[in-house]
Amino acid sequence: VTIEHHLDAATLVAYAAGTLDEAFNVVVASHLDWCPACAEEARRAALLGGELIGKLAGTPVSEDCRSRTLNMLDTATLHRFPKAPSTGGEVPEPLEYLLKGKSLAELPWKRKAPGLALYDLPLSEASSGKLFLMRIAPGTAMPEHGHGGEEITLILSGAYNDRFGRYARGDVADLDESIEHQPIVEKDAACICLVATEAPTRFKSWPARLLQPLIGI
């Protein structure tokens, strides 16, 4: 996987601090699974966060609290953060876990508009975001749109082009509400993406806006 489009540093810091919404966490963790450069940057951000916490003035705690904390550390399982990136696989590991072993072709996609199918992924009730897979047919031009909030899209297969360049497998589009774009999928294959959003897409044209409640994005 050759990756040209990476995560914003502000997103990586939020991920390392553990403050991203669950939907965004899944997309970021999925990108890190394929992108050694962003995985290294996330690891560095976590270390710097640790340094920052280490510089805080100490707070007195009871001996009981201190010994219980140290005991918990002794018995804790060590996880490498983030885990070493993988290379193969149809989808990144965090997504594979959510799909419970099903391939993309096996999913019950819901056709929402000509050339567009979606598959909603389950999130816990605590999440305020929305997480879904989007499959866009070859050659389809999405209506020009902005974003009501933040949106991160990871390309799983196929490719699209917009004014920011070409996005293919492993690339991530880390967009906020100020960005408007019109992705056009390349003609040789469908483009399948993993998308996290915090607010509905803002289509510019009135036909797209009329269809939006039916499309569900």
Partner 1 sequence: MEILTLSFIEDLPQAEIARRLSLPLGTVKSRMRLAYGHLRKTLEQPT
Q: How far apart are CA 38 and CA 94, in angstroms?
A: 16
DSSP character at residue 106: G
- Selected from 93, 144, 162, 177, the binder of partner 1 by CB under 8 A is 177
Taking alpha carbons only, the member of 215, 120, 196 closest to residue 151 is 196
Residue 37 binds to partner 1 (criterion: CB under 8 A): no
Q: Tokens 């699974």 — which residue?
A: 33
- Selected from 4, 37, 40, 44, the binder of partner 1 by CB under 8 A is 44
Cβ closest to partner 1, residue 44 vs residue 102:
44
- Selected from 59, 75, 124, 178, the binder of partner 1 by CB under 8 A is 178
For residue 133, give both structure tokens.
Answer: 């897979």
- Selected from 4, 19, 71, 90, the binder of partner 1 by CB under 8 A is 19
Amino acid sitting at position 117: A
Q: 146 - beta bridge partners?
A: 202
Stretch 74-113: interaction string toward partner 1, x if CB under 8 A: ----------------------------------------
Residue 26 binds to partner 1 (criterion: CB under 8 A): no
- Selected from 4, 37, 40, 48, the binder of partner 1 by CB under 8 A is 48
Amino acid sitting at position 33: D
The secondary element (H helix, E strand) that includes residue 196 is strand 191-197
Q: How far apart are CA 45 and CA 16, in angstroms?
A: 6
Residues forming contacts to partner 1 in the complex (CB under 8 A) are: 8-10, 13-14, 16-21, 44-45, 48-49, 51-53, 56, 150, 176-178
